[in-house]
Amino acid sequence: MSTVTTTTSWGSRVGSSFKGVFGGLILVVAAVGTLFWNEGRTIKRTKALEEASKVAVSVDAQTIDPANEDKLIHISGDVITDDVLADPEFNISLNALLLQRVVQMYQWQENTETSTTRTSGGGEETTTTYSYSKVWSDTLIDSSSFHDKGYDNPTSMPYESKLYLSQNTTLGAFSLSQDQIENLGPSVDYNVNAPPAKAKPAENASPETSPVDGAVTPTPEAQSGQNGESAYKAADINEEFTQDFSISANSDTSSLNISANVDSNDISVSSTEKPTAVTVASEIPSSAATGSASALDPRLKPFGSGYYIGDPQNAQIGDVKITFSYVATPCPTSFVAQQHGNSLVSYQAKTGKVLLQEEGIHSLEEMIASAKQSNMMIAWIIRAVGLIVIFFGVKTIFAPLETLADIVPFASSIVGFGTGIVAFCVALFLGLGAIGVGWIYYRPLIGIPLVVIAVAALFYPIIRGKKKAQKVDA
């Protein structure tokens, strides 16, 4: 940590404040323009959603009705895929809609804290303190521009964060685009140290074969230990294979043979008794073997649900954490979109495009209401930010007056308070005026009252000042 103190003379401050007037004007103009644009955007979006609520129809996602071609439809159901997503660098493969790898590095981060004090004669003393903390970041932090030396970050990461998306993804009879797949959720952590090993049953597998993981469930006779033999269950075999193995069991009436080969990733289970004969070929995902990624890169150490490069008990700059997450299939999702063949695309309303996607099963009314709420939330955020920017822009324009007054003790505070009130009123006038003009263009009954309030905000300090002057004269 280090501290730097700089002193600026009154003359330099006056010159800088006058230069800042231009910057203040740019802020004000940009904010007013943004507020006007935001009102237009908000109104157009509201009208588009109102149109959507009137023309959209809820349909069965399992069938595509040609009569609905290029019409706005509402569908909901389970998004599914048969694709197996693979991250070859870490020997991960699983049936999922989306697979994400997040790589974070332990790095230095520079923090600055600035304080300013006025000096005699209108000068200014600025003290800047530089401190450094260690943080986990998924982006590289450039330490070459740090004020202090000795806080060096690596210039590259051993692995990059990546996103894998399924290619053949459907909701009923409809296919989803890559953008729609990327917005699916929620995602869950993928534990590389205990991954889900899903196996695919052979085509001739008997009903005793588990449809989920390919494990063989014994017949009732075998489960009860008939003929003096103990019950067995192939699913009890440890999934973490380190070598080839075989298991066999014989009875008076049947025999059971189980074999597995790691190199070929196959398991074979067979029995000679015809009523219980079963053959299952199971493809074990390469990630099912613990430490398989570590074998590719010995630096990788199992940590939590992912990997760690370094010593997790004593984190150092340059250490790396690697975690994985995925969106499971099926994934309940709802859409309001235009039917175009077997695709879901944006619907062109009179005042804008409409394409709504939400996690879970929702009705058309719920989705429209949610979209309207989001639209208004965005509108109010932009309004608040715009008014704040206008206020600081106007304060910057009046900054030379405050700086000039610094030559007299306490005068700067009085001038600053006055310019603050003026900046607040001007911000209300310009901000509400921009909002009101935007609404007048689209909805006059709402816009006109806003303009009246804006004008009142501008003239309020003038009228109040005259009244005070009249009292003093009296």
Of the three residues 284, 313, 336, the one that is the final residue of a domain is 284
Distance in angstroms (rounded) separating the CA atoms of residues 373 and 379: 10
| Structural domain includes residue 381 | yes
pTM (2 decimals)?
0.68
- Say if residues 47 and 350 touch (Cβ distance below 8 Å): yes
Three-state SS letters, 127-170: EEEEEEEEEEECCCCCCCCCCCCCCCCCCCCCCCCEEEECCCEE
Q: What is the mean pLDDT of residues 248-253?
A: 43
- C-alpha angle 393/395/396, rounded to 5°? 65
Closest by CA to 59, choosing from 73, 40, 44, is: 73
| Structural domain includes residue 274 | yes
| Structural domain includes residue 133 | no
pLDDT for residue 97 is more than 80: yes
Q: Do 373 and 279 have their domain in common?
A: no
| Structural domain includes residue 51 | yes
pLDDT for residue 348 is more than 80: yes
| Structural domain includes residue 188 | no
Of the three residues 241, 260, 284, the one that is the final residue of a domain is 284
Give the residue with greater pLDDT, 125 vs 38: 38
Could you tell me how many helices (H) and strands (E) the chain has, helices first? 8, 22
**Res 426: pLDDT:** 83
pLDDT for residue 436 is more than 70: yes
- Say if residues 290 and 302 touch (Cβ distance below 8 Å): yes
**Res 19: pLDDT:** 77
**Res 23: pLDDT:** 86
Dihedral, 5, 8, 13, 15 alpha carbons, nearest 10: -120
Distance in angstroms (rounded) separating the CA atoms of residues 61 and 467: 70
**Res 470: pLDDT:** 58
| Structural domain includes residue 255 | yes
Mean pLDDT score of the chain: 77
Distance in angstroms (rounded) separating the CA atoms of residues 342 and 322: 37
| Structural domain includes residue 401 | yes
Give me the domain span that covers residue 271: 220-284
- C-alpha angle 340/343/346, rounded to 5°? 70
Report the number of distinct structural domains present in the chain: 2
| Structural domain includes residue 391 | yes
Three-state SS letters, 373-441: HHHHHHHHHHHHHHHHHHHHHHHHHCHHHHHHHHHCCCHHHHHHHHHHHHHHHHHHHHHHHHHHHHHHH
Q: Do 277 and 374 have their domain in common?
A: no
Residue 320 phi, psi dihedral angles, 5° rounding: -130, 135
Q: What is the mean pLDDT of residues 170-183?
A: 96
Going by pLDDT thresholds of 50, 70 and 90, the confidence category of residue 174 is very high
pLDDT tens per residue across span 303-337: 999 999 999 999 999 999 999 999 999 999 999 99
Of the three residues 262, 284, 306, the one that is the final residue of a domain is 284
